[in-house]
Homo-oligomer: A and B are copies of this chain.
Amino acid sequence: MIDRNRRGLVLAAGGVLAAGAVGDMAWAAPPDRKLGYAIVGLGSYGLGIIAPQFKNCKNSKLVALVSGDAAKAKRVAQEYGVPEKNLYNYQNYDEIRNNPDIDIVYVCLPVSMHAEYTIRAAKAGKHVLCEKPMAVSSAECESMIAACRQAGKKLMIGYRCHFEPYNLEARRIARAGEIGKLRYFRSEHGFHFRDPNAWRLKKALAGGGSMMDIGIYALNAARYMTGEEPTAVYAQETTDRKDPRFREVEDMIGFQLEFPSGVIGSCQSMYSANQNHILLVGDKGRVEMEPATGYQGNRMWVGGNGRDKEVTPPPGPGATQWAGQLDHMAQCVLQDREPIVGGQEGLRDLRIIEAIYQSAREQKRIVLKA
């Protein structure tokens, strides 16, 4: 386990690095130094997507599991070489404080449990990587940030696209002015939600519907592609409440973002149709991505005339977007840096999502507080 304070002292003793310079050490981390992760929640994402990724990492290893299903945990532990002593359940979770193998906890639980399991991890002295959306409300986000700050622990949100080569290259192109002055950002994100019994369709567990789960990709992309924060939103919702899937949460929500520079952001979130698309229109050209934020198979076109020119981006920071994400968190801990997608990033999205829901409910434009 890395002690942030001790690390800080070591650096200070070196007498070379100013606080602001620490960030530049990003890639100076010993490549063979691996921090230990505990995955909390062995659902489709934690088990299906995250667990297999540690083999692609330089600074991260899977050392512990937290699950309500002891048999499943044991089976997964065997598969990934996790020692049985490092298996926890939701009752004895706080005992991770006594386990020096665990540096970072990765919270892969239903959204309504993010706050509790992040705060308990921080209190147990562990750094936290928490899946998006950060929590069911901005108030919960604030308490998560406060708990980690108080414990002196890092908090990062699982915005994997910030480590995904296509998204990084599109952002670079947009911000470098290569398509001229940015005028318009548009994104649709949606898929067919099939299982009416899934936790993501329960308001109490998910906090909301497609907006919280998949629409957040469009919202977050609008912010990282433009480099701006929206000042106002307008949203309209269409949900068939007779559809058994949508008794509690929204299906389709369109939201419009106003940015200070005048860029218009226009986004769509859906649980009843497949769409995964980002378009950036500048006055000298455009960047189009489809699929834009997929697990794999993303594609990108850059130029002035439709999809004439397909572009393959340079490699991202990790072997995969998840490896980049896991190692970034580990490196932030090793080097006492703030993650590029910390708690504030998650909080900002949640505040905007709350305004989007309010706008759809009240059918009016909502001005966002600075």
**Chain A residues with a Cβ under 8 A of chain B:** 183-184, 186, 188, 190, 192, 232, 234, 236, 238, 240, 252, 254, 256, 258, 262-264, 266, 268, 270, 272-275, 281-283, 286, 290-291, 304-307, 363-365
**Interchain residue pairs A-B with the least CB separation, the first 4:** A238-B262, A273-B281, A254-B264, A183-B273
A256 near B272 with CB under 8 A, answer: no
B184 near A268 with CB under 8 A, answer: yes
B236 near A281 with CB under 8 A, answer: no
Q: How far is the CB of A276 from chain B (nearest CB, A)?
A: 9
CA distance A252 to B266 in the complex (A): 13
- Taking a contact as CB atoms closer than 8 A, the residue among B190, B268, B272, B306 that contacts A186 in the complex is B268
Q: Which of chain B's residues have a CB closer than 8 A to the CB of A270?
A: 183-184, 281
Q: Which of chain B's residues have a CB closer than 8 A to the CB of A364?
A: 364-365
B258 near A236 with CB under 8 A, answer: yes
Residue of B nearest to A240 (CB): B262
- Taking a contact as CB atoms closer than 8 A, the residue among B190, B192, B273, B282 that contacts A273 in the complex is B282
CA distance A99 to B192 in the complex (A): 62
Q: Which of chain B's residues have a CB closer than 8 A to the CB of A238?
A: 183, 262-264
So how many copies of this chain end up in the complex? Answer: 2
Q: Which of chain B's residues have a CB closer than 8 A to the CB of A190?
A: 281
- Taking a contact as CB atoms closer than 8 A, the residue among B186, B275, B282, B306 that contacts A188 in the complex is B186
Interface core residue of A262, A282, A290, A291 (most chain B CB under 10 Å): A262
CA distance A283 to B193 in the complex (A): 11
Q: How far is the CB of A260 from chain B (nearest CB, A)?
A: 11
Assuming the A-B contacts A192-B283, A268-B184, A306-B290, are A256 and B234 also in contact, with contact meaning beta carbons closer than 8 angstroms in the complex? yes
Q: Which of chain B's residues have a CB closer than 8 A to the CB of A272?
A: 183, 283
B264 near A275 with CB under 8 A, answer: no
A275 near B286 with CB under 8 A, answer: yes
Q: How far is the CB of A186 from chain B (nearest CB, A)?
A: 7
Q: How far is the CB of A161 from chain B (nearest CB, A)?
A: 18
Q: Which of chain B's residues have a CB closer than 8 A to the CB of A186?
A: 186, 188, 268
Q: How far is the CB of A87 from chain B (nearest CB, A)?
A: 40
Q: How far is the CB of A181 from chain B (nearest CB, A)?
A: 8
A and B contact pairs by CB, cutoff 8 A, 9 listed: A183-B238, A184-B254, A188-B281, A192-B283, A240-B262, A254-B264, A256-B256, A266-B268, A274-B286
A286 near B262 with CB under 8 A, answer: no
CA distance A337 to B192 in the complex (A): 44
Q: How far is the CB of A263 from chain B (nearest CB, A)?
A: 7
Q: Which of chain B's residues have a CB closer than 8 A to the CB of A266?
A: 254, 266, 268
A254 near B252 with CB under 8 A, answer: no
CA distance A302 to B198 in the complex (A): 30
Q: Which of chain B's residues have a CB closer than 8 A to the CB of A254?
A: 184, 256, 264, 266
CA distance A180 to B230 in the complex (A): 34
B192 near A188 with CB under 8 A, answer: no
